[in-house]
């Protein structure tokens, strides 16, 4: 019979755009509410205090996804006014211990 010899081949491209989209998806999952299909969430809600609770380690992981080479740091939430007052005194937003290592890690992730 004609057509029985049909052969299909699939290829998956591993492009930089795909890697960036995967990172964005993981960051989104960390910042969305937890549900049956999203166990990566860093969020919880305390009904007694009516506060959103954030897992600092998961939030740091999201920051590290967005900034390859970022060293683990403690996280503190501040008001917008405090942020603006401090922002003008910062020389760099990068807190990686070694700038050279940060750039090398970024390059490795893009390969």
Q: What local confidence, expressed as pLDDT, does residue 34 receive?
A: 85
pLDDT tens-digit map of 44-89:
999 999 999 999 999 999 999 888 888 899 999 999 998 888 877 7
Domain boundaries, the chain: 16-110
> For residue 29, what are its two tokens?
């999952």
> In the predicted model, what is the mean pLDDT of residues 29-43?
87
Q: What local confidence, expressed as pLDDT, does residue 27 receive?
A: 92
Residue 110 in contact with residue 16, Cβ under 8 Å? yes
Choice between 111 and 20, residue whose per-residue pLDDT is larger:
20
> For residue 72, what are its two tokens?
């683990």
| Band of residue 6 on the pLDDT scale cut at 50, 70, 90 | low
Q: What local confidence, expressed as pLDDT, does residue 12 receive?
A: 62
The residues near 40 (Cβ < 8 Å, ≥ 6 apart) are 26, 29, 30, 58
pLDDT tens-digit map of 89-101:
765 556 565 666 6
């Amino acid at each position: 019979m004609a057509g029985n010899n049909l052969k299909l081949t699939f290829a998956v491209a591993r492009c930089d755009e795909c890697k960036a989209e995967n990172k964005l998806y993981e960051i989104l999952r960390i910042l969305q509410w937890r549900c049956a299909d999203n166990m990566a969430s860093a969020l919880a809600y305390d009904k007694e205090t009516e506060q959103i609770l954030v897992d600092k380690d998961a939030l740091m992981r999201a920051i590290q996804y967005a900034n390859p080479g970022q060293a683990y740091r403690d996280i503190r939430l501040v008001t917008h006014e405090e942020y603006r007052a401090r922002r003008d005194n910062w020389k760099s937003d990068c807190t990686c211990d070694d700038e050279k290592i940060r750039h090398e890690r970024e390059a490795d992730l893009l390969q």
